[in-house]
Amino acid sequence: MLFRRLSLGNRLALASASLVLAAIAVLGWAVSHEVEDYAHDMIGTSLAETGYQMSDKLDRSMAARVKEVQLLQGIHALTAQMEPSRMRELIEQLQASYDVASWIGVTNAEGEVVAATDGLLEGKSIAHRPVFTRFCLKSHSCYAVPVH
């Protein structure tokens, strides 16, 4: 009834305003969904890139650790007939130049620590520890793991 009292010009203006508001609402909804999809894509891309970078850094770091273990194997072969005090000096120099190892030790075939950095565990047996039982007994090689 109120609509009937309005003039034709007012009716057209009201209808136009309603259409404009409806169009704005529909466009706002569509844009918000597009922005949401774009944000999800950007977050996914960013996370994938971060994952790739972390994986690459880990691969390079592990390759460096493998080379260090190989270096330790070579040192072990050179020090097989060396006195424990001289071995300790060498592995302490090695530890000082490669700050990634908090402890480096050389064991005999029975698992007794012959030489170690800071003399830690020297003369003690680590034959019962996983570092020795899981790897050293099977391959007679070097192993890089946490001791504790």
Whether 103 is covered by a domain: the verdict is yes
Whether 98 is covered by a domain: the verdict is yes
Q: Report helix, strand or coil for 125.
A: strand
Query: 9-58, pLDDT tens digit by residue?
Result: 888 998 999 999 999 999 999 999 999 999 999 999 999 999 999 999 98
Whether 58 is covered by a domain: the verdict is no
Residue 82: which region, alpha, beta or left (left: phi > 0; alpha: psi -120 to 50)? beta
Range of the domain at 136: 80-140
Nearest C-alpha neighbor of 84 from the set 110, 103, 108? 108
Cα distances (Å, whole numbers) of residue 81 to 42, 76, 77, 108: 60, 9, 9, 11
User: What confidence tier does 66 reach under pLDDT thresholds 50, 70, 90?
Assistant: confident
What's the length of the chain?
A: 148
Whether 29 is covered by a domain: the verdict is no
User: What confidence tier does 78 reach under pLDDT thresholds 50, 70, 90?
Assistant: low
Query: What pLDDT is stored for residue 76 in this prediction?
Result: 64
Whether 11 is covered by a domain: the verdict is no
Whether 118 is covered by a domain: the verdict is yes
Q: Which residues contact 120 (CB under 8 A, 6 or more apart)?
A: 103, 105
Query: 91-143, pLDDT tens digit by residue?
Result: 888 888 777 778 888 888 788 888 888 889 999 998 888 777 766 655 555 55
The rounded distance, in Å, linking the Cα atoms of 100 and 83 is 25
Q: What pTM value is reported for the model?
A: 0.47
Whether 106 is covered by a domain: the verdict is yes
Query: What pLDDT is stored for residue 82 in this prediction?
Result: 79
Per the structure, the count of domains in the chain is 1
Whether 96 is covered by a domain: the verdict is yes
- Quickly list DSSP for 55-66: HHHHHHHHHHHH
